[in-house]
Amino acid sequence: MGWPLLLENLQVKRGGKLVLAVPRLELGAGEIMAVLGPNGAGKSTLLLTVAGILCPSQGSIRAGEMVWGPGRDPYQWRQAVTLVFQEALLVSGTVLDNVTLGLKFRGLSAREREQLAGPWLERLGLTELARRRVQDLSGGEAQRVALARALVLKPQVLLLDEPFAAVDAPTRSRLLRELRLLLKETGITTLFITHDFRELPLLADRGLVLLQGQMAQVGTVRELAERPASEAIARFFGVENLWPTGGSLPGLKELPPGLGAIPARCVRILGAKPAVAGESWLWPGKVKYVEEHWDGVYYCLLCEGLEVWGWADNQLRLQLGEQAWAVINKKQLHYIETRNSLNFLSDQEGLPG
């Protein structure tokens, strides 16, 4: 089982400018946490600091009984924490040469290295490739080699910087699911960076959203998607429906100034008004957009000037301009105070990595 990880009062400065501030972040032993945010949010800075490559300007990071921070030698810390970069960064030689490279640096004999590497080669489906030259590997195979090289060192904390970004989407999804099973089996505490919120349920227990170098929200996949703390987080997670409160539509007119947020998958589109609303509001509107999918139809209705996105089953076939009804679940409409709405920095204004 990996060690619990605790970051307290952490600040990182580059060129005298504060680029990352983490008041407190705690991971339980064996927990997998995703770090999300737009470019320049501070994700890479966080990972490099936890890895012991960047030294924080103040604060501390604790893993088990070990502590990393200003004035401390990072050598022992780096023995317990392993970082896997987005690029596999393999050296010339065979798969086995690469998987055992860290063990070689630690002074183990060739026989000891091969014995320790064997189980990880098998777990990651690399046994048959052990003698293959790394230049002959596919992108997915190369990244599995990089993971095996990290895991054979038995780290207490594993850091992953978008490890499968270079492979195609179906392969990436499969590898993330396989990696989650492996990490849960071994109990290694893990932080991983992703730009894609859709990767959260495939790998993470919780997610941390960074915006402008600040912790914006920490929560489960569902909490982040259905209860975003700000407009910026809602937009990052692809929440399609963000409506200004007020007006005459039920549910919005009762709220104070701010935004009402609800993902499209939580909005049902009907062709006829149901007899009973139950725990929902019913909004009449006209069909503005239709998009057919294999598992349903994605609609946009125009309801009193507001675009309302939702889903219907494949039996419903509405045409543009037709009357329809949006069913808004009262428990799933989330209120966001506008004072909590952070705007994304532009690429020019963004903080470093």
- Rounded to whole angstroms, the Cα distance separating 246 from 103 reads 63
Residue 350 lies in a domain: no
Per residue in 261-319, pLDDT tens? 999 999 999 999 998 788 999 999 999 999 999 999 999 999 999 999 999 999 999 99
Q: Are residues 92 and 220 in the same domain?
A: yes
CATH code where residue 262 lies: 2.40.50.140
Mean pLDDT of all residues belonging to the chain:
90
pTM attached to this predicted model: 0.85
> 121 lies in a domain?
yes
Whether 145 and 267 map to the same domain: the answer is no
Please name the residue ranges forming H helices in 55-138. Answer: 75-80, 95-99, 101-105, 110-123
Same domain membership, residue 167 and residue 200: yes
Question: Would you give the end-to-end CA distance of the chain in angstroms?
Answer: 30
Predicted confidence at residue 339, as pLDDT, reads 67
Bridge partner residues of 60 (DSSP): 8
**Alpha helices (H) along 35-109:** 43-50, 75-80, 95-99, 101-105
- For residues 88 and 150, the answer to whether their CB atoms sit within 8 Å is no
Confidence of residue 343 (pLDDT cuts 50, 70, 90): very low
CA distances 216 to 229, 234, 326, Å, are 7, 11, 31
Cα–Cα–Cα angle for 83, 45, 36, nearest 5°? Answer: 85
What whole-number distance in Å separates Cα of residue 10 and Cα of residue 20?
8
Number of domains in the chain: 2
Residues 170 and 268 placed together within one structural domain of the fold:
no
pLDDT in tens, 216-248: 999 998 899 889 999 999 998 889 999 999 989
The phi, psi pair for 247, rounded to 5°, reads: 75, -155
Q: Give yes or no for residue 47 having a pLDDT over 50.
A: yes
Of residues 263, 282, 258, 260, the one with CA closest to residue 271? 282
Range of the domain at 130: 5-226
- 285 exposure class (CB count in 10 Å sphere: 0-12, 13-18, 19+): buried
